Structure 1
């Protein structure tokens, strides 16, 4: 989704004061590689880690339904952060890893968190065959040899009082975000490399205190990496992934800076062809807030993309979908209606 590396970066032992962009993400790259426009993705290699860049994440969200019509949301995220722009083996590795798992119902939010040091096999990512893991949480590829490595995945995670095991099968292509995968985050030009697989069909089982629930639905995977993705004055973001009932999709985000903010969006046609929108074309307006974990957090939004005739009102499935991790944020499933209808996911960071 978008730029969403706050959590792993904040665990850096050498992190500076957080006045330089949200969670320090506006600091200088300090010897790390920096994304450049016009760089083509190289798959399957780019499904794997990029240790020359400071921050990276593999971020999956799923909108799921049970046979009785009840809605659920699932999140599975693996973050990588580097203390230095080099790679070493064993305990000398500068790579830090963090995993987040969430399961949202209409009345409860289940959350678990894992952390690991790189170089010892406890966490990592391989490109082909694709595998991402931290402890026994896994996102394991099962693609056919001739298919993209992310085209079929098995996903599992477990925490206190919940677990899930899901099978994901892509029904469309990978989608570069921004201009051919170069996603600009500010007027000053900070950027990341960013692509998505937003076309997963999902089947599987959620296990909650009341028992196992068979579910089906849609999932969206983001892979993004950078070294300095925010400007110094950006204080947080609001990220939306929308699955329209028509088969089209949209990714959009607003980076907050105390003023109008910086917005970006990609319109994704039903056949997977991306149409990046000009900065500022996306308009997002909070309509209602609620007290969540002692913070005032928007729980209803108006989202507009006039170029595509989009004017929708978004509501959260569970306003209390708070990720109560070491560095907390809001993440949960949404529904929307208006000129278009459908489901999606919302992430909000930096609300104090």
Structure 2
């Protein structure tokens, strides 16, 4: 009976997440809170969850080098989604949680998913210390002073992989868009969005062949909204880039039904000074596709930001970095070269 009840819960949660998916992010948000450009983000409070908004995620990606001489990528994501704007407690809460974890190399892409109902202690985000978790997957603060995100441990485990990483921020938080208010369309859909792109990482990957010591750099995003897409938008192409001189760049393009991109970018200097670029400043041009999970995906891109003299081409570490989860998408580590070089991550959603 218990097993049957748990199976039923899993099916319900999976169906709810899949039904909402990426297209659901463009549906009406009646009853939910909406972002406002007049609201300033406040830390550490805004590191926590915002249940009056419909959708939220804490998203960490890491580009790593192993003691075995190979490159690796790690993803850790905690999603929160509200099925209704009403409040509740325990099993009555409308909040559902989903975790995604992945470990990518040039030869393999391993991933896992967890689903949980909010309000029963199985998943959530807590303060003092900051801890974002779902079951035994954990992103927990180790900071004793300063911002709680200045020092983190990151843990996750799938059937055939695990990782245990320590992260130390070497710079300040970055507010995306207009002081954290990030426009997503010409008609004003938006999110609250900030990042910590300055992590230095060390730790251990566990694979079927054994443990591998790794070092590298990581990028954390926290974003929340209730209707971040216009109803005509069906997905996005997003990049986080670490330049060899220590600069950083975030850029995304949201695709409309016509295939056109609404773009946004943020340039971050090595000392944390930021410049935001609105629609049209960034250009994303697909150069090469690969057959991935039964569909053709643009895994190689030309990325230009003329205002910064950026003209680069990205290359995936593993073109088959497909997340076959409740709502599927492509997510994997990349290298880039051209006017500048470095590493980063690419995410592509809405390619059905």
TM-score (structure 1 length as normaliser): 0.94
Partner of 2:191: 192
Larger relative helix fraction: 2
Separation in 2, partners of 1:88, 1:15: 22
1:278: Cα distance to partner? 2.2
Partner of 1:346: 346
TM-score (structure 2 length as normaliser): 0.94
1:328: Cα distance to partner? 1.1
Q: Is the 8 A contact 2:18 2:326 kept in 1?
A: no
Separation in 2, partners of 1:44, 1:156: 22
Partner of 2:337: 337
Partner of 1:24: 24
Structure 1, unpaired ranges of 5+: 1-8
Partner of 1:6: none
1:45: Cα distance to partner? 0.7
1:98-139 CA deviation, whole Å, 9 max, x = no partner? 000000010000010000000000000013320011011111
Change (3 A) 1:290 1:125: same
RMSD: 1.5
Q: Is the 8 A contact 1:10 1:24 kept in 2?
A: no
Q: Is the 8 A contact 1:171 1:200 kept in 2?
A: yes
1:186-233 CA deviation, whole Å, 9 max, x = no partner? 011100000000000000000111110000000000000000000011
2:122 aligned with 1:147: no
1:28: Cα distance to partner? 1.0
2:16 corresponds, among 12, 37, 43, to 12
> Per the alignment, in what secondary structure is the counterpart of residue 12 of structure 1?
helix
1:217-274 CA deviation, whole Å, 9 max, x = no partner? 0000000000000001111110000000011000000111124220110011111121
1:11: Cα distance to partner? 4.9
Alignment of 1:43-192 (within 5 A): 43-144=43-144, 146-192=145-191
Alignment of 1:222-237 (within 5 A): 222-237=221-236
Separation in 2, partners of 1:30, 1:12: 18
Q: Is the 8 A contact 1:334 1:345 kept in 2?
A: yes
> Per the alignment, in what secondary structure is the counterpart of residue 218 of structure 1?
strand
Separation in 2, partners of 1:87, 1:48: 17
Separation in 1, partners of 2:86, 2:261: 34
Select between 60-69 and 193-202 the one with higher mean Cα deviation.
60-69
1:160: Cα distance to partner? 1.1
Partner of 1:34: 34
Separation in 2, partners of 1:14, 1:239: 21
Corresponding residue pairs, total: 339
Q: Is the 8 A contact 1:12 1:81 kept in 2?
A: no
Select between 85-94 and 149-158 the one with higher mean Cα deviation.
85-94
Separation in 2, partners of 1:348, 1:10: 21
> Per the alignment, in what secondary structure is the counterpart of residue 150 of structure 1?
helix
Q: Is the 8 A contact 2:201 2:218 kept in 1?
A: yes
Change (3 A) 1:102 1:237: same
Separation in 2, partners of 1:68, 1:247: 25
Separation in 1, partners of 2:241, 2:330: 17
Separation in 2, partners of 1:68, 1:15: 42
Partner of 2:203: 204
Q: Is the 8 A contact 2:59 2:222 kept in 1?
A: yes
> Per the alignment, in what secondary structure is the counterpart of residue 186 of structure 2?
coil
> Per the alignment, in what secondary structure is the counterpart of residue 230 of structure 2?
coil
